[in-house]
Amino acid sequence: MENNSERLNARLYSDTRPSSEYYDRFNAFIKRRYGESATLEWIEDRSIKKGFRLEIGDHIYDWSDKGLFSQFKDYVGKLQFPEDKPVIPLLTETLKEWAPKAIAEELGVVLTVGDGIATVSGLDNAAYGEILLFDSGVKGMVMELKHDRIGCILFGEGELIVQGSAVRRTGRTAGTPVGEKFIGRVIDALGSPIDGKGEIGYTEFRLIDNPAPSIIDRQSVSEPMETGILTIDSMFPIGKGQRELIIGDRQTGKTSIAIDTILNQKGKNVVCIYVAIGQKANSVSQLVERLTESGAMEYTIVVNSSAADCASLQYIAPYAGCALGEYFMEKGRDVLIVYDDLSKHAVAYRTLSLLLERSPGREAYPGDVFYLHSRLLERAARLSDKRGGGSMTALPIVETQAGDVSAYIPTNIISITDGQIFLESGLFFSGQRPAVNIGLSVSRVGSAAQTRAMKSAVGTLRLDLSQYREMEVFTQFSSDLDEATNNKLIYGRGLMYLLRQPRYRPLTQFEQVVLLVAALGHVMQDIPFDKIAAFKRGFLDYIEREKPELHYLIKSDTALTAELKKKIIALAEKYKNTADLNP
């Protein structure tokens, strides 16, 4: 029983006045539930043809046709029907079993609305993250709880909501539709298709903010997620279930690395998800066109919340994409998800927090901005065999200003992830692309995510390049170099040219291995730098044509023998002597 010391006025709406018997029964129910001080008033409402609607304070008991249908629809929505049976007989059977209940529905009132934010009073039992339904049909999500009102973000046109309009609780947290049929489609942050190909049949709804897998549910990262980029696969390998940050200034090739990685998953049974946050619609359209031309859309889902969308949609977009990825991961499949980019995601969250009047902290970000990304990226994992053995590999992208990796958001995400690929503007504009800074980049999983063939092929590559970069700095102050130093510089510069790779041309592991063996065998020592790209292409074509059996000799699970390395180096020398590589 709920007692209330204040006088409550209960209003009963129906098309005809209830009889004295029913009037007494309503009065008895109200006094039993809300106390002796409650009074009942009947109001004629001809829009209610059958049944009634009882309003007491901010509670509503809606037993009109519309209210009962809504209650039945919510009941059906929680059921799961077998896919192989017709829906109509099942609904008929469900209707016979269903019985309506006298459930009080809370009713709130809009106090203020604007900039994608609404404040509401009257919903005392609303929970953080709960979805609210406004009279106009727009949905919102609770983001701020205060003693006298709640603040919620809107997932639709705020112009349709007016001050004083009604708001209802749904009792549900935000979710997104998921299913196999989403593969190959472009959707928005709410899971609706935006590619003009019609509706998408979904299998189930998943919460967009699920807890991350526990330690017991995970296993170590040991299988490679090959990017097809020689620099990364050789020195900063990424494993399935890892979180590797791609960081750098604007226009340094961050998205290109992510797209090349997606292209390299063709034929490997990996579901790829690209989440575009705050990007220009034209840029996303070009990206989808590129993926389609390459055949990559056959295994890719694009979740787009463009710069034209409100901050609330940009805020939930990565969580919706992650929920899609979890659906496939829990079915035992491997997933690659790209968040492009989390800098804009953090800005969208800061906008929402300031509009909700939260206390600002460093750079005006709210105090929980670290939790914003940690609860997202921690959901990437490689599940244990008991959980199906699926994996979700995350490639978050972060934009820096003037190469400052010590800024607030970059340092937060660096501390969450398992390594970072740092792209340097100076390298990019000098023609070194991908412009990976070898000194600042790292993969904390390391060689555990490399195949044995790649480990043996890489050798001392990173050490040689580090020595070259260090020597290059010192030689800027001296023009008189001995022959040994000059040879090391030429060798190091040749390695840098070897690592140059055009966009949308990922290399297979076989191609990477033979190129590394040839380069570390000093075959390219005397090739002019501007001819190294031609040597790479020609040498790979030469092997395919003359020695295709090398594909069977170089196996991922076995290390390269000294004899096999000598054979590759001899082939490279033979091709170099026959090819036209003169300056």
pLDDT of residue 79: 47
- What per-residue confidence (pLDDT) applies to 69? 57
In this prediction, residue 91 carries a pLDDT of: 41
State the Cα angle at 39 between 38 and 44, rounded to 5°. 135
Residue 7, pLDDT score: 61
- From CA 560, how far away is CA 456, in angstroms rounded? 6
Give the pLDDT of the chain (583 residues) as one tens digit per residue.
344 445 667 777 777 777 777 777 777 777 777 776 777 788 887 777 777 777 776 677 766 666 555 655 555 555 454 444 444 454 444 444 544 454 556 778 899 998 889 999 988 888 999 999 888 888 999 999 988 899 999 988 788 888 888 888 888 888 999 999 999 999 999 999 999 999 998 888 899 999 999 999 999 999 999 999 999 999 999 999 999 999 999 999 999 999 999 999 999 999 999 999 999 999 999 999 999 999 999 999 999 999 999 999 999 999 999 999 999 999 999 999 999 989 999 999 999 999 999 999 999 999 999 999 999 999 999 999 999 999 999 999 999 998 899 999 999 999 999 999 999 999 999 999 999 999 899 999 878 889 999 999 998 899 999 888 888 877 766 667 777 888 888 899 999 999 999 999 999 999 999 999 999 999 988 889 989 999 999 999 999 998 888 888 888 788 899 999 999 999 999 998 887 765 4
Task: State whether residue 127 is helix, strand or coil.
Answer: coil
Q: Distance (Å, rounded) from C-alpha 579 to C-alpha 407?
A: 49
Residue 392 phi, psi (nearest 5): -135, 115
Residue 374's contacts (CB-CB under 8 Å, 6 or more residues apart) are 416
Q: Which two tokens stand for residue 17?
A: 């006045």
Which residue carries 């934009």 as its tokens? 399
Do the Cβ atoms of 325 and 392 come closer than 8 Å?
yes
CA pair distance 297, 291, nearest whole angstrom:
5
What does the pLDDT read at residue 15? 78
Q: Which domains, and CATH codes, for the chain?
A: 9-97 (no CATH), 105-173 (2.40.30.20), 177-449 (3.40.50.300), 456-578 (1.20.150.20)
Look at residue 553 and give its three-state secondary structure: helix
**DSSP secondary structure, 247-313, as one string:** EESTTSSHHHHHHHHHHTTTTTTEEEEEEEES--HHHHHHHHHHHHHTTGGGGEEEEEE-TTS-HHH
Q: Which residues are catalytic?
A: 444
Taking the C-alpha atoms of residue 314 and residue 312, their distance in angstroms, rounded to an integer, is: 5
Which pLDDT score, from 0 to 100, does residue 486 have? 83
pLDDT at position 62 is 67
CA–CA separation, 42 and 11 (whole Å) = 6
Distance, in Å, from the CA atom of 86 to the CA atom of 320, rounded to the nearest integer, reads 30
Question: How far apart are alpha carbons 522 and 573 in whole angstroms?
Answer: 10
Measure the CA–CA gap between 209 and 189, rounded to whole angstroms. 13
Res 70: pLDDT: 60
* Cis upstream peptide for 177 (omega within 30°): no
C-alpha–C-alpha distance, residues 501 and 433, integer Å:
6
- Helices 509-520 and 461-475 cross at an angle (nearest 10°) of 50
Q: What integer pLDDT is reported at residue 3 of this predicted model?
A: 43
Q: Please report the pLDDT score of residue 5 as a whole number.
A: 41
SS3 41: strand
AA letter at 25: R
Rounded to 10°, the helix 509-520/532-546 angle is: 120
